[in-house]
Amino acid sequence: MIHKTTKALVSLLVLMSASATTAFADGVEGNVALSSNYVFRGITQTSDGPAVSGGFDWAVESGFYAGSWASSVDFGDDTTMEIDFYGGYAFSAGGFDFDLGGIYYAYPNSPKIAGEDQDFLEFYAGGSRSFGSLTFDAKLSYSEDFYAGTGQSFYTEAGAAFALSDSLSLGARIGSSTFNDLSGADYDDWQIGLSGEAWGVGWDVRFHDTSDIFGDAFVISISQSFGS
């Protein structure tokens, strides 16, 4: 998530930001990652410092899934960790893959901001379709009461990924944040990067930028998955 106190408002793991919909294998899988920066919707969550993250995903063949993911953060206050809890239903129809679900962003031991908790709940709906080595996707996320009680928000995003080989892909995404109760806070973000795998370890090199004052970021990540 982002920190709107130090940034004047307002990445599933930086590597997870390369895809708007997630396909889960049947069973339980885990992941750990080390990143040079944790960027969420174009905004650093670690004051441009490194992040350690990890999580677990559970899924069944019917398409239902649930999971949790945590990362170190640095908001310039007592907040040091983000823990996400999510669940949903993934299915295919008419040649498209769809994903419907919700995610709760929790910040243990974080101070209140203007009397409001930093935690918030978001719902999402996404779809994707592949054409050979090229995959397109789009996703809409909605929160009735966004970070620190800032009201309704929408985040729309779209992306494309092209498989250059069995272990290397090029991906790009664009996103737009809209805040109904925050005048002048809307902004856009975009990213482009390469991701792949070498000797069983995943890696990702990605450039992020925004249309606002948040600046750009070049992020390098390595990750490891385990389980079924």
pLDDT grade, residue 15 (50/70/90)? very low
pLDDT tens profile 73-115: 999 999 999 999 999 999 999 999 999 999 999 999 899 998 9
* Arithmetic mean of pLDDT, 54-83: 97
pLDDT value at residue 25 = 58
- φ/ψ of residue 4, rounded to 5: -85, -10
Regarding the domain with residue range 4-227, which homologous superfamily does it belong to in the CATH classification? monomeric porin ompg (2.40.160.40)
> Residue 6: is its pLDDT beyond 60?
no
What's the burial of 63, exposed, middle or buried (CB within 10 Å: 0-12/13-18/19+)? middle
Question: Residue 183: its pLDDT value, please?
Answer: 87
pLDDT at 7 over 80: no
In contact, 54 and 12? CB cutoff 8 Å: no
Question: Any idea where the domains of the chain sit in the sequence?
Answer: 4-227
Give 145-200 pLDDT, tens digit per residue.
999 999 999 999 999 999 999 999 999 999 999 999 998 999 999 999 999 999 99
Do you know the residue count of the chain?
A: 228
As separate numbers, helices (DSSP H) first and strands (DSSP E) second, the chain gives 1, 14
pLDDT of 1: 66
Q: What is the pLDDT of residue 59?
A: 97
